[in-house]
Structure 1
């Protein structure tokens, strides 16, 4: 499996659309595409999977380290021979060089993969070439081994516009094609980013038309095999446990590698709190992040969270991340702009909904995000995901805040990031844990979770 990294000149340049269009073009050319995403995002990967038909791998150096990134990428090709992917396309995060702990450039360097630069060409020709050349040369200036192989011109017209860009490109840079400006290539967004791929996937016909000038032969020729990890993944023995994972529109932020790790070591069952499913017979529950605020009224009335609160008070371990923490709290107050997945009434009053009542906290949604960063946590109390003294790395991105009781027990001190109160993260109650941090299985957190059951 060879690979390419799609990096942008900035955020908002259209990396996702360019990546999806290229995935469609390669698929139509008979290639089996493995998608991946640089950075801790859950939303862009859902669009990758809708087009490529495979779960998108999360590649983040902060979350899992260089070897972890390489293992996660290599694992995509560790499948049955009949299902081997031909090429891996990695969509970058922000601009190519942006990010202090896991930029797109850092991921490309760790994997030793060439970069296809997505450049916004809507108002330039020769300047687009100059920008691309600058991005290529900047790598040498800062001592990074990054190969910017060429460009895809985003929002570029054909004819004189396209030819002007091609003529201006230096010989060191390939012109891989263009994505024309089209209204049907806009993905609706909401707080936390784009709508999920299951909600607003771009049509294949629109992507095919957009990718008509993408030169798949050139891209395949430019792709290289990713670097392999220096150390193999540690094997872990199965545990005699059943883990129940919430899985629906309210709890949809989970890494494929997390589900794989849980299935490798334990029995896994899923349930839907939105649908009112009963809490399964299990030894522990994992509540991923997602959008409980969009379904708060249903979650309040469906009964699953109430039952989960009762089970937790009896000693059932529950681990919730971000949206999971919100659902584990006593109450969730929405802004009035999205209690359901229907059109929101922006003039509606805030509404408070009862949640599971496991954690001594009341959560409130806000119009602006309250935290967005990679986070580092030092464990101060033994908990489901780490022993005291251990360090966990994760990511936080949330629009809510939690008002906690004065006698609350925290699991972690926040060395980097905001956490719950700017200094701590991880609310402890009964045998359960709720955090604002999303962690990757490469951190060992889910192994600790399984071994604590």
Structure 2
């Protein structure tokens, strides 16, 4: 599966819309595109999935390592992969778009905001290409996709200004129908606010598909000896899946399905906890569904089953749902499952945004004593744990629940602000510890 990376000059330049237009253009040209996202993002991939009709692969050097990243890439389907970058091309401590492109040896199509420029677009692209050479990065900036560029003289001005060794991959015209509403944690999800199909198809008409396909390359294959075990266990894992628990990587669900019998349930819809040997509560937006969660039979059953020793792992939103209470920014407080000794309160601005490294203080659901786990965090909530609360991890990088500690634990329940990827090994340990 050949691929290209759509890297931006900065955050907010329109990478997501450009990626969706490219996916649509490829599909309308008779190709079978596979979307992917550089960096630890759950929201942009939801828009990818809606347009491409298949889950988007998460590609992050910090979370997965080079071999894990390549394994995850090749778990995709289709005949050409379109990787949306994160922030600006070179931005990101731990895993930038440039690092992902380098690890996969994929060319970069630079998404440049051309709303108020023509020749300057070429100068910007040249600067991004020259920077890679200056700092010794093995990154190929192959050309430009002009975002918010009108047709006619505007588009021609951009194209004509580019030197022969920088290709023009087309343009995305300015269109209010291509703006995705935002809220805390980023854009609204693709299943909530999908972009207009008509607007996407109109934008796709101006993408130069053949040039894109001629530029795409196939990444190096992963080392077959590095493949993790997928030994089936017969254990039953319940995964919460709804608006409150929507932040889960496809690779995580795939790994759990390979090793266990996965059952999904929706606490928001009123589902009770299914019969299971362990529970995974992903992150999401529990603050938007706090009233529904407070009356959910699943949380009441979780409280009872957790006290009996059922293994429960909650990440970020899952941690919030396992706490004693959740207070929204409006000041309304709701009772949660009450398994973990902490109260959680939503704040007006984000409390942490970073790649994270944890070191296990003791044997816990996702690690053995001394193990290190890598993940990421992005949350607007703050947890106030009890003075005698127990923590499973010391935080080597990032911010934990209690500053330098993360992994609030009670019974056989573990709650973290850190999101981990399947390539970290945490979910294999979870299965093995059941």
TM-score (norm 1): 0.95
1:68 aligns with 2:62: no
Encode CA deviations 1:224-271: one digit per residue, 9 max, x unaligned: 111211344122321131000000111000000000000000100000
What SS is found at the alignment partner of 2:350? coil
Superposed, which structure 2 residues align to 1:45-444 within 5 Å?
Answer: 45-77=45-77, 85-230=78-223, 231-336=225-330, 350-444=331-425
Q: Could you say which residue in structure 1 is the equivalent of 2:431?
A: 450
Preserved contact between residue 237 and residue 265 of structure 1 (Cα < 8 Å): yes
TM superposition shift of 1:143: 0.5
TM superposition shift of 1:94: 0.2
Flag as ranges the 4+ runs of structure 1 deviating above 3 A: none
Q: Tell me the distance in 2 between the aligned counterparts of 1:190 and 1:48.
A: 18
What SS is found at the alignment partner of 1:234? coil
Q: Could you say which residue in structure 2 is the equivalent of 1:11?
A: 11
Q: Could you say which residue in structure 2 is the equivalent of 1:82?
A: none
Q: Tell me the distance in 2 between the aligned counterparts of 1:236 and 1:300.
A: 36
Give the superposed CA RMSD: 0.8
Number of residues paired by the alignment?
433
Encode CA deviations 1:131-173: one digit per residue, 9 max, x unaligned: 0011111111111111111110000111111111111101110
Encode CA deviations 1:172-212: one digit per residue, 9 max, x unaligned: 10001000111000001110000111001112211010122
TM-score (norm 2): 0.99
Q: Tell me the distance in 1 between the aligned counterparts of 2:269 and 2:258.
A: 27
TM superposition shift of 1:421: 1.8
Preserved contact between residue 381 and residue 410 of structure 1 (Cα < 8 Å): no
1:24 aligns with 2:17: no
TM superposition shift of 1:301: 1.5
- Note the residue ranges of structure 1 that are not aligned, 5 or more in a row: 78-84, 337-349
What SS is found at the alignment partner of 1:200? coil
What SS is found at the alignment partner of 1:378? strand
